[in-house]
Amino acid sequence: MTTSADSTSAIPPLHADEEPPPLWFNVPDGFFALPLAATPEERAARSQEFVRGLYSRGDESIWEPAAPYYAGVAEMMADTGVSYSAMGLFSTADAEADADEDEEATAKAVAGAAEGGGVVEARYEGAGGVAQCAFTVAAVPTDQAAGDTDIAAQGILAALSREPHNDARWLDLPCGPAVSCITLTKYKLSPQVTATGEPMDLLTGQIQVHVPFPTGPFTAVFTLHTASTDYWTEFCDIMAAILQTVSFEEPPGGHPASGSADAAD
């Protein structure tokens, strides 16, 4: 699985009296941001751009019916408090799948990469196969005071560690303390929904990272979910690379977008 140039995303408040301060982070090329926006007009315009990027080899016969669908999805997601949402599509042509990667090695990969590891190169070229993921960022209210990020992270770690199926770990990011939580879930698919007509197992993985705002009282929650678990290690590297760029202060050249997070080259 391969990645290339990054794009910068900013999450500004939709409503200044209700939302947290802005948050900045970079996502690699291959992420297609859903058209989250404050108004139907903005969502409609952004959905047109979204479908043209997602279906870059399509035409109006594909783009026109798809745009309203994704505008509706974006409206529903915005209503749940999600500030940024994207689909990740990455070429698998040059990747070597490792289906035996276990949960312990995965957690170490995330923690190690978060301390300065890199990310493999990625771009969307479907001819050789595509690995997919869903990526969201939300800011949830928490009760920490300004500057109490360590206390907030310790509470999050304690809460997540109570669930035996969670692999919750402390992370030290450039922007401050954070907590990662990795879960792998196996589903039984019935013969009616499989291509072979036989029952199959579907393994999915989720990486969720909680980053308390230093200003309080919010925590940013980054979530990456994928069923392409043959490329689990690569997705861990991608998530870790994104986390390295998280900032609660506007970086040089940063341009917060209006409404919701925008990806800008």
User: What is the number of domains present in the chain?
Assistant: 1
Q: Residue 121: which domain range?
A: 6-250
Percent of the chain with pLDDT over 70: 75
Q: Decide if 264 is inside a domain.
A: no
Q: Which residues lie below 8 Å from residue 219, measured CB to CB, with a gap of 6+?
A: 139, 140, 142, 144, 152, 156, 210, 211, 212, 213
Per residue in 187-197, pLDDT (tens digit) is 998 888 888 88
261: in domain: no
Q: Is 76 within the bounds of a domain?
A: yes
Does residue 256 form part of some domain?
Answer: no
Higher local confidence (pLDDT), 181 or 65 = 181
Going by their DSSP bridges, the two strands 218-226 and 130-141 should be labelled as antiparallel
Q: Exposed, middle or buried: residue 134 (CB in 10 Å: 0-12, 13-18, 19+)? A: middle
What's the pLDDT at 91? 84
pLDDT band at 261 (very low <50, low <70, confident <90, very high): very low
Is the model's pLDDT at 135 over the cut of 90?
yes
Whether residue 126 lies inside any domain: the answer is yes
| Cα-Cα-Cα-Cα dihedral sign, residues 153, 101, 136, 253 | positive
Res. 229 pLDDT band, cuts 50 70 90: very high
In a domain, 84, yes or no: yes
The string of pLDDT tens digits covering residues 167-180 is 999 999 999 999 99
pLDDT digits (tens, 9 = 90+) for 5-49: 445 555 544 433 457 889 999 999 889 888 888 788 888 888 888
Residue 102 domain flag? yes
Residue 265 located in a structural domain: no
